[in-house]
């Protein structure tokens, strides 16, 4: 199920207006965020495409989605939302589960493909955090004194936040997010049918959660916890080898 653009434009307007009126419109922060947004969405959607292809479905290849070209995967509306809120999505990768290898069921294959996007974002966040710590340790003057170094370091920090945010957000088990596809794969038949029959209701619930403070209250602590966990893991890794 895809986002209805009418609702998305309304949400976009609300978020942007709230950000501007609340003093949250920081042009510099937005500019620092854009590289991380492009990186997060590109690798997220590429992960969906390459995993589906490896499982035997050539649909992503036929549609040109086996690419790391950002413009192949971007949804303009979602990019703006991701810049302002650090949560969003890319242009969905279309798959045909019937093409998956016979060694794997269509249900399991769909779950694996859906999970690939968020997992890629978490892996990217780990790699970027390693780079951040490496710069702090081995290029201290560059990231603290050099203007270019400060800019690069700040962009990397935003990229970590965006990747964690995109990964966490997409694991919410509500349509049309990846989490709902993972959940559907493990539900009993009757429960799956009930879920499918009430998909529009879940979609409305999702929209309500998103445009109210509920989204921030639910997602922000999780993003902070995951970011802290990644940072601690990388710090412990460096302490072993230093």
pLDDT in tens, 35-91: 898 899 899 999 999 999 999 999 999 999 999 988 888 777 766 766 666 555 678
* Highest mean pLDDT: which range of 78-87, 180-189, 197-206: 180-189
DSSP 42-81: HHHHHHHHHHHHHTT--HHHHTT-S---HHHH--HHHHHH
Q: What is the pLDDT of residue 161?
A: 92
Q: What is the mean pLDDT of the chain?
A: 83
Distances (CA, A) of 99 to 63, 65, 177, 187, 188: 15, 16, 22, 22, 23
Output 160 or 214, whichever has higher pLDDT.
Answer: 160
C-beta neighbour count of 238 within 10 angstroms: 14
The encoded tokens of residue 110 equal 């769909």
* Residue 113 pLDDT level (bands cut at 50, 70, 90): very high
Q: What is the pLDDT of residue 177?
A: 85
CB 230, CB 125: distance < 8 Å: yes
Q: Quote the CA–CA distance of 19 and 181 in Å, as a whole number.
A: 31
* Residue 2 pLDDT level (bands cut at 50, 70, 90): very low
The encoded tokens of residue 57 equal 């479905």
Collect contacts of 16-23 with beta carbons under 8 A, ≥24 apart. 16/80, 16/84, 19/84
CB 119, CB 48: distance < 8 Å: no
CB 67, CB 43: distance < 8 Å: no
Q: Which of 21, 85, 89, 118 is nearest to 213 (CA)?
A: 85
Which ranges of the chain does DSSP label H, i.e. alpha helix? 5-21, 27-54, 59-62, 70-73, 76-85, 106-138, 140-144, 147-170, 178-186, 189-197, 199-211, 213-241
Q: How far is CA 163 from the centre of its chain?
A: 6
Q: Quote the CA–CA distance of 111 and 36 in Å, as a whole number.
A: 26
Return the sign of the alpha-carbon dihedral for residues 200, 211, 77, 166: negative
Percent of the chain whose predicted confidence (pLDDT) is above 70: 81
What ranges do the domains of the chain cover? 5-241
Asked if the model's pLDDT at residue 203 lies above 60, the reply is: yes
* Residue 211 pLDDT level (bands cut at 50, 70, 90): low
* pTM, to two decimals: 0.83
Q: Phi and psi of 215, rounded to 5°?
A: -60, -50
Distances (CA, A) of 42 to 27, 35, 79, 225: 23, 11, 11, 24
């Amino acid at each position: 199920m895809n986002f209805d653009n009418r609702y998305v434009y309304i949400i976009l307007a609300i978020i942007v207006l709230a950000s501007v009126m609340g003093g949250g419109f920081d042009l510099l922060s937005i500019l620092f965020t854009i590289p991380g947004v492009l990186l997060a969405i590109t690798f997220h959607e590429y992960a969906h495409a390459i995993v589906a292809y490896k499982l035997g479905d050539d649909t992503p290849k036929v549609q040109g989605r086996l690419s790391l070209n950002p413009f192949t995967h971007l949804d303009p509306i979602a990019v703006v939302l991701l810049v302002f809120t650090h949560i969003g999505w890319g242009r969905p990768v279309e798959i045909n589960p019937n093409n998956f290898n016979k060694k794997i069921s269509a249900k399991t294959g769909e779950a694996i493909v859906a999970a690939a996007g968020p997992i890629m974002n978490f892996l990217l966040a780990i790699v970027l955090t390693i780079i951040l710590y490496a710069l702090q340790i081995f290029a201290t003057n560059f990231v603290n004194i050099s203007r270019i170094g400060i800019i690069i370091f700040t962009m990397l920090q935003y990229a970590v936040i965006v990747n964690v945010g995109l990964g966490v957000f997409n694991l919410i088990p509500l349509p049309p997010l990846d989490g709902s596809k993972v959940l559907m794969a493990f539900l009993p038949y009757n429960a799956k049918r009930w879920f499918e029959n009430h998909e529009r209701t879940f979609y409305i619930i999702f929209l309500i959660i998103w445009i109210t403070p509920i989204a921030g209250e639910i997602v922000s602590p999780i993003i902070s916890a995951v970011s802290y966990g990644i940072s601690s893991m990388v710090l412990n890794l460096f302490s072993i080898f230093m």
